[in-house]
């Protein structure tokens, strides 16, 4: 094998190694991108659920403050074990 052939083989091996690394990195980036998109979707769903829960809590507080008799524990009937 001549020196030029050895250099050519070394360069081909290096190129193959770099192509393999590039393919692995592209796969990793795609996987991370998919995971990030899923996390953003989940965060949006959680934000919507939190918004709805806070709105329901606000409505309950308004209801309880507008009818003080229902919020008074003394007006409640005794528990069944009495």
**What whole-number distance in Å separates Cα of residue 13 and Cα of residue 7?**
10
How far, in Å, are 8, 44, 52, 58 from residue 66 at the CA level? 86, 33, 21, 12
The pLDDT tens digits of the residues spanning 5-63 come to 999 999 999 999 999 999 999 999 999 999 999 999 999 999 999 999 999 999 999 88
In a domain, 74, yes or no: no
In a domain, 73, yes or no: no
In a domain, 26, yes or no: yes
DSSP assignments along 13-43, one per residue: HHHHHHHHHHHHHHHHHHHHHHHHHHHHHHH
In a domain, 28, yes or no: yes
The band of 76, judged by pLDDT with boundaries at 50, 70 and 90, is: confident
In a domain, 81, yes or no: no
pTM of the predicted model, to two decimals?
0.60
pLDDT reported for residue 45: 98
In a domain, 68, yes or no: no
Two tokens at 41?
A: 């979707």
The structural domain count of the chain equals: 1
pLDDT reported for residue 70: 55
Parent domain of 39: 3-62
């Amino acid at each position: 094998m001549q020196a030029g052939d050895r250099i050519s083989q070394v360069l081909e091996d290096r190129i193959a190694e770099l192509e393999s690394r590039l393919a692995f990195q592209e796969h990793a980036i795609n996987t991370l991108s998919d995971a990030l998109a899923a996390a953003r979707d989940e965060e949006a769903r959680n934000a919507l659920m939190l918004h709805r829960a806070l709105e329901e809590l606000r409505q309950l507080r308004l209801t309880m403050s507008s009818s003080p008799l229902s919020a008074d524990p003394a007006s409640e009937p005794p528990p069944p074990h009495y």
